[in-house]
Structure 1
Amino acid sequence: MTVDQALDSDFLTLADPYRRELLAHCYRMMGSIHDAEDQVQETFIRAWRGFDGYKGQSSLRTWLYRIATNTCLTALEGRSRRPLPTGLGAPSSDPADDLIERNEIAWLEPIADSALGDVNDPAVMVVNRDSVRLALVAALQHLSARQRAVLVLRDVLQWKASEVAEALDTTTTAVNSLLQRARAQINHIGPTEDDLVEPSTEAARKLLRDYVHSFESYDVEAIVELFTREAIWEMPPFEGWYQGPEAIGQLIGTKCPADGPGAMRLLPTAANGQPAFGLYMREPDGVHRAFQLHVLDVTESGISHVTCFFDLSLFARFGLPAEL
């Protein structure tokens, strides 16, 4: 029996419409789609157990968010943050150096747009896109758990300080202090995404077509031309990160296992409100198998950031096949 089957159907009828937005909330807090799903399930269990005591003094949505936030705070106790390679504090790497894999680190994970709501509803996706950008979620990981909760509740969900204080069982003064420190930290880290363009614009669509063609033809010179001057390439679980088109081109040209044109194929998807691709690598038996998931930052002047995830379990979560 699943958790949902064990819960009262009347409760699920009322609570289930909030499941996807609660998943996004837990993802912002946890930095992992796996952990976020666990916390949503725990939220529903706690809410169902306490439903008889729900007095209706706040909306059901607010009540569920309060439970979800505290569920995440409990889960985060004693856990280290989930970084990307750029968040480890080391300078950019030399593409000529050996790749160093760090599987002991719990890395930040992407989330599929399809998990967040109706991708065909622009109103839904604009809200989700603005609040789950990969750079923002990575920046949130630099905050303490309570700072993270306060920032998300105040700046993303637009709760009043008094509502946050009640949810976290603290004072308004403490909430304002946590928010001030959290905003200062985020501003210092500086995730700048104001110049990202919508994936639906013609310029973005052309850039993405060129990205696919350049990789599938394994044309490193063409790949280099797509990146902005300060572009970043990173690929957990490898700890290095690379800055600048030339460094990225050298990395792809020397470390990529592709054996020539046709070795790679890309399927489009979307992650964190951003364009993404499942990349498949041709193996000796001639079959293209899942290799990396690319999440892109697209600007008017080119691609400014690519994060490549080697966690192959992500392909199923994005509705992508394991092989072509």
Structure 2
Amino acid sequence: MVHIGAARKEPTHKRRERTTVSTFEEFAALAEPYRRELLAHCYRMVGSVHEAEDLVQETYLRAWSGYRKFEGRSSLRTWLYTIATNACLTERRQRSRRPLPSGLGPASDDPDAPLEAASGDVLWLQPIPDMMVTPGPGDPAAIVTSREQLRLALMASLQKLTPRQRAVYLLREVMEFPAADVAAMLETSAAAVKSSLQRARAALTKVDTIHEETTELYAQDLLEQYMTAFEKADLAALERALRKDAALEMVGYSTWFSGLDTCLRYLAPVLGSPGIWRMIPVRAGGQPAAAAYLRRDDGIYEAFGLAVLTVTPGGISRITVFGKEDSLPWFGVPSTLR
């Protein structure tokens, strides 16, 4: 006869392992839906795609490490934002702000002069692909995506704020967390949050963050005009697509240009002859953009960089060009074209 008490018990370490797996699956199911919006938040905080990815990964590791102690005094989403924001603040204390060339000095009025390279210690603002932060159907990030502000102009302006002001502004104005929640997240008072928000708002009114709404169809049409002008080396077509006050900046150089005539004088030799350039349409931070390829002597088109267009009802108001290393790896485009 076999006694019940004699049945073989499961080893303790096996039971613990099973419990850990079950807890992790629960954590992953609850936390994973917030990954895209946390990535957008971290990107807005630090201005770098690869840093934002690292910070989101760090956020999830910290959250999993402390999940068993999470008491639910706040929502899981608020808790994740608390971890992510503070991770970003720690990162910002170790690094300087990320500007665009137009944030370093006045525009040049001499397009014939050599471009002036910025100092090697400048960390540049990077563009983020829409596909990395656009939520799918039913994704809770869809609630904030309609208010998501990832345009380059605003991103560059946010870089002018102190890291703490940036955190308060994003949590209150973009994510719309209550002031009391933000105070708890940053371990400060509601009065301090209000003061930081007022200072952030005041600082942002001093910079050009105005965004004139355009239809998606119109934005795509301007992008097509831009790409065709380069591929056909059609300076007149490019002129028709640009506004009179258009600006051109190339990340990596402190030189940038403002005004249609100045921009066209610089771009005329860049266009070259028909067939030198090829373009692939993409989207970056809610803006139309083009991955650019330059033809080599062997006929292969090699990735050159990314042009992000700021479009308005009057045409393209700004072209921001990023080098291929600082932009294209995240956009899923090939390194060469045949």
Q: Scaled by the length of structure 1, what TM-score is found?
A: 0.91
Q: Indicate the residue corresponding to 1:105 in structure 2.
A: 122
Shift of 1:128: 5.5
In the alignment, structure 1 residue 48 sits paired with structure 2 residue 61: no
Q: Which has the larger radius of gyration?
A: 2
Q: Indicate the residue corresponding to 2:33 in structure 1.
A: 17
Q: 1:183 aligns to what SS in structure 2?
A: helix
In the alignment, structure 1 residue 242 sits paired with structure 2 residue 295: no
Q: Which runs of 5+ in 2 are unaligned?
A: 1-20
Shift of 1:44: 0.7
Q: Indicate the residue corresponding to 2:223 in structure 1.
A: 208
Retained in 1: the 8 A contact 2:223–2:309? no
Q: Which amino acid aligns with 1:287?
A: I
Structure-to-structure mapping, 1:31-180, within 5 angstroms: 31-102=47-118, 103-118=120-135, 124=142, 127=145, 130-180=148-198
Quote the Cα distance in structure 2 between the aligned partners of 1:121 and 1:212.
Answer: 34
Change (3 A) 1:125 1:67: closer
Shift of 1:124: 3.7
Shift of 1:227: 0.8
Q: Cα RMSD between the aligned structures?
A: 2.2
Quote the Cα distance in structure 2 between the aligned partners of 1:124 and 1:276.
Answer: 23
Change (3 A) 1:285 1:128: farther
Q: 1:132 aligns to what SS in structure 2?
A: coil
Shift of 1:104: 2.9
Retained in 2: the 8 A contact 1:94–1:247? yes
Quote the Cα distance in structure 1 between the aligned partners of 2:81 and 2:106.
Answer: 36
Q: Indicate the residue corresponding to 2:289 in structure 1.
A: 276
Q: 1:63 aligns to what SS in structure 2?
A: helix
Change (3 A) 1:119 1:13: closer
Q: Indicate the residue corresponding to 1:266 in structure 2.
A: 279
Quote the Cα distance in structure 2 between the aligned partners of 1:97 and 1:124.
Answer: 47
Q: 1:16 aligns to what SS in structure 2?
A: helix
Q: Which amino acid aligns with 1:29?
A: M
CA deviation profile, 1:97-146 (whole Å, cap 9, x unmatched): 11122243110000000000247999949826741111111110000000
Name the count of aligned residue pairs: 314
Retained in 1: the 8 A contact 2:223–2:290? no
Retained in 2: the 8 A contact 1:85–1:238? yes
Shift of 1:249: 0.9
Q: 2:327 aligns to what SS in structure 1?
A: helix
CA deviation profile, 1:270-300 (whole Å, cap 9, x unmatched): 0001111101000111111100201111111
Quote the Cα distance in structure 2 between the aligned partners of 1:273 and 1:91.
Answer: 25
Quote the Cα distance in structure 1 between the aligned partners of 2:137 and 2:244.
Answer: 33
Shift of 1:238: 1.3
CA deviation profile, 1:58-82 (whole Å, cap 9, x unmatched): 1111110011000100111132100
* 276-285 or 91-100, which deviates more: 91-100
Quote the Cα distance in structure 2 between the aligned partners of 1:120 and 1:167.
Answer: 29
Change (3 A) 1:120 1:233: farther
Change (3 A) 1:310 1:156: same
Retained in 2: the 8 A contact 1:232–1:241? yes
Q: 2:117 aligns to what SS in structure 1?
A: coil
Q: Which amino acid aligns with 1:68?
A: A
Q: Which runs of 5+ in 1 are unaligned?
A: none
Retained in 2: the 8 A contact 1:116–1:128? no
Q: 1:131 aligns to what SS in structure 2?
A: coil
Retained in 2: the 8 A contact 1:147–1:179? yes
* 214-223 or 33-42, which deviates more: 214-223
Quote the Cα distance in structure 2 between the aligned partners of 1:220 and 1:169.
Answer: 55
Q: Indicate the residue corresponding to 2:10 in structure 1.
A: none
Q: Which amino acid aligns with 2:24?
A: D
Retained in 2: the 8 A contact 1:118–1:125? no
Identity over aligned pairs, percent: 45
Q: Which amino acid aligns with 1:100?
A: E
Shift of 1:265: 0.6
Retained in 1: the 8 A contact 2:147–2:174? no
Q: Scaled by the length of structure 2, what TM-score is found?
A: 0.88
Retained in 1: the 8 A contact 2:153–2:209? yes
Quote the Cα distance in structure 2 between the aligned partners of 1:172 and 1:129.
Answer: 24
Q: 2:324 aligns to what SS in structure 1?
A: coil
